[in-house]
């Protein structure tokens, strides 16, 4: 049997498995060894699921032998520890859910299992997905494989770090304000935030229900298309799930970049953008133009600059409502020594939630309180409508909108922990896409000071195929997606 190359992509592994170069069990065993070796330095996982992975690998081998394999059969995957997994604890990186073991799989995990994927483990994140650095985790911070003194981004930092470090070829994250795209950019991989309603949220621990979306991390567009093809589609258990058919997400791969209309809004290239990131963006625009893309610098998205303000009213408000269920009574952590119900609930929430989660609960509770609802939450929803209209108008003129994913490259651990506003500004360019509900993708497009830079492409509602086609075209004329960080185990 051939030696295993864990640097292969998912589709390369799939071809090797179908041709019997190696078995799914051998791939799972080798992946587990690598992930275990990387963990002391990366801390990308909260729970590594050895027994589950080997069981699923054996089932995949049986499917392969019977000729019933799909694109993800036997493929190792990391799953953000916000996605409910039957029999495997789902912590949301919080002390509040440290011992919570769901009695069911979320819809996305059900679909992964049905496709024959092999779950290697539950990846680390900012607590309840609230953060931009994966430092707000009750299980310690995840580190960036390009520089262990720096953050991987967040909140899906564990999912991004393990793919970048070649631990697993693909993983799942969630994106509420940039939590897939920003860590993808900082770790030098592809990350796709899907259209709101494209992927079921049933069984996913809720942060902000009108913003949350599940999506893939991968090292190339082909892997992302395969993973999205498995998890996308209507789910009657999720009232926000769109009743639309799932297309072939590779349908636009043959188009390439020729004739692709790319809008470049000056509104997203202003103050706060690091020089190295700006230079990488301009080089990328030139590469696109040299390969047939039509660049339009006349589109404008002026209201999108209010996206950060809108987000930090809507998201905390929804978080305040969603996290009210953690009261020490129904499930999760319970203080247990309260003298009365009020003290029990207060101590449970005070001890069970971390500082950032408590900060956002207080922001949201204030915005929803009597006398402030109209001034804050209602007004934010009205501005949200304006932002959506601007995106729709711009995307009538172009196929995709190009912006930086993050205004900066990966910053040092603890550098911004004491400055919440500086931390929030990391999502300045990604948040408006969640506000509008559109899909967005981050692609590696260069380096600044030896650290990856990400380019964001934004598309029309439910046109992930356009984004993935553009990503595939980009990968044919650049090699940024093939760059790997130093070996980490």
The backbone torsions φ and ψ at residue 152, rounded to the nearest 5 degrees and listed phi first, read -95, 0
The backbone torsions φ and ψ at residue 322, rounded to the nearest 5 degrees and listed phi first, read -65, -35
Check: CB of residue 78 under 8 Å from CB of residue 172. yes
Q: List Cα–Cα distances, 202 to 92, 142, 207, in angstroms.
A: 15, 26, 13
| Helix H or strand E encompassing 217 | strand 213-218
Query: Could you give the angle at the alpha carbon of 361 between the alpha carbons of 420 and 369, nearest 5°?
Result: 120
> Which residue among the candidates 94, 133, 159, 179 is catalytic per the annotation?
179
| Other beta carbons within 10 Å of 394 | 20
- Distance between CA atoms of 110 and 118, rounded to whole angstroms? 12
CA-wise closest residue to 329 among 345, 310, 340, 353? 345
Overall size of the chain counted in residues = 489
- Distance between CA atoms of 156 and 93, rounded to whole angstroms? 11
Check: CB of residue 440 under 8 Å from CB of residue 193. yes
For residue 92 the two structure tokens come to 């949301």
> Which residue among the candidates 80, 122, 388, 416 is catalytic per the annotation?
80
CA-wise closest residue to 197 among 170, 224, 215? 215
Catalytic residue flag (residue 358): no
Bridge partners (DSSP) of residue 137 are none
Catalytic residue flag (residue 346): no
- Distance between CA atoms of 404 and 175, rounded to whole angstroms? 17
> Which residue among the candidates 132, 155, 171, 284 is catalytic per the annotation?
155
For residue 124 the two structure tokens come to 């680390």
| Other beta carbons within 10 Å of 424 | 17
Catalytic residue flag (residue 317): no
For residue 266 the two structure tokens come to 């000056």
CA-wise closest residue to 129 among 322, 332, 404? 322
For residue 82 the two structure tokens come to 């916000």
250: which residues sit within 8 A by CB, 6+ positions away?
222, 225, 468, 472
First to last CA, the chain: 23
Which stretches does DSSP call E strand in 124-179? 170-175
Which sequence positions are flagged as catalytic? 80, 155, 179
């Amino acid at each position: 049997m051939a030696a295993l190359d864990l640097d292969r992509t998912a589709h390369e592994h799939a071809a090797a498995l179908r041709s019997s170069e190696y078995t799914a069990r051998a791939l799972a065993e080798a992946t587990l060894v690598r992930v275990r070796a990387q963990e002391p330095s990366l801390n990308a996982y909260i729970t590594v699921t050895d027994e589950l992975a080997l069981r699923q690998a054996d089932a995949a081998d049986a499917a392969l032998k019977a000729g019933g394999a799909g694109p993800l059969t036997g493929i190792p995957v990391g799953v953000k520890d916000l996605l409910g997994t039957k029999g495997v604890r789902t912590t949301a990186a919080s002390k509040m859910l440290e011992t919570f073991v769901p009695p069911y799989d979320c819809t996305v995990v059900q679909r992964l299992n049905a496709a024959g994927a092999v779950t290697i483990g539950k990846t680390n994140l900012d607590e309840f997905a609230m953060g931009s650095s994966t430092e707000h985790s009750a299980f310690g911070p995840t580190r960036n494989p390009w520089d262990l003194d720096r953050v991987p981004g967040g909140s899906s930092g564990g999912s991004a770090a393990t793919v970048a470090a070649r631990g697993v070829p693909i993983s799942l994250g969630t994106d509420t304000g940039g939590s897939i795209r920003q860590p993808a950019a900082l770790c030098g991989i592809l990350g796709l935030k899907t259209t709101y309603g494209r992927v079921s949220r049933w069984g996913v621990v809720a942060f902000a229900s009108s913003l949350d979306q599940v999506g893939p991390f991968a090292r190339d567009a082909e892997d992302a298309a395969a993973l999205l093809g498995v998890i996308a589609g209507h789910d009657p258990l999720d009232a926000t799930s769109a009743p639309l058919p799932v297309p072939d997400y590779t349908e636009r791969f043959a188009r390439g970049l020729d004739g692709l209309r790319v809008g470049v809004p000056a509104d997203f290239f202003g103050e706060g953008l690091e020089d190295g990131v700006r230079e990488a963006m301009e080089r990328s625009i030139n590469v696109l133009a040299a390969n047939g893309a039509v660049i339009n610098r006349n589109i404008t998205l002026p209201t999108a600059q209010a996206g950060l303000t809108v987000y930090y009213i809507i998201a905390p408000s929804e978080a305040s409502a969603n996290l009210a269920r953690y009261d020490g009574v129904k499930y999760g952590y319970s203080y247990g020594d309260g003298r009365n119900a009020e003290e029990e609930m207060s101590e449970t929430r005070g001890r069970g939630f971390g500082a950032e989660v408590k900060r956002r609960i207080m922001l949201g509770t204030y915005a929803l309180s009597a006398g402030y609802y109209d001034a804050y939450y209602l007004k934010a929803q009205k501005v949200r409508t304006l932002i959506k209209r601007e995106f729709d108008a711009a995307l009538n003129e172009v196929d995709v909108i190009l912006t930086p994913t993050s205004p900066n490259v990966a910053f040092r651990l603890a550098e911004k922990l004491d400055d919440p506003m500086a931390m929030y500004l990391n999502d300045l360019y990604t948040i408006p896409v969640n506000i509008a509900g559109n899909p967005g993708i981050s692609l590696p497009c260069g380096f600044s000071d030896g650290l990856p830079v990400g380019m964001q492409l934004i598309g029309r509602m439910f046109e992930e195929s356009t984004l993935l086609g553009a990503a595939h075209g980009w990968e044919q004329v650049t090699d940024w997606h093939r760059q790997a960080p130093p070996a980490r185990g």
